[in-house]
Amino acid sequence: MPFRSNLGKIMTAKNMTYEELQFIAKIAPDTIARARDERIASCTLATLEKIAKALGVDVHSLFDYKAEK
């Protein structure tokens, strides 16, 4: 999968738990878990925007993209 999540790193840097992010972003826990691994590619842009806003970062900061060869 060409998308790699940075969510775990960002949450650690901001000392934020799953529960805090879930509450602030108003997103289900399973969605947060999905956004934290390679399944981030299955999240909608609207969801990623909510997560980014809750963390105070840009959407593109949530993941890295490396094209498959």
The three-class DSSP label of residue 31 is: helix
DSSP letters of 4-18? EE-HHHHHHHTT--H
Residue ranges of domains in the chain, CATH in brackets: 3-61 (1.10.260.40)
- pTM equals 0.87
Please give the chain's pLDDT, 69 residues, in tens: 688 999 999 999 999 998 999 999 999 999 999 999 888 888 999 999 999 999 999 999 999 988 777
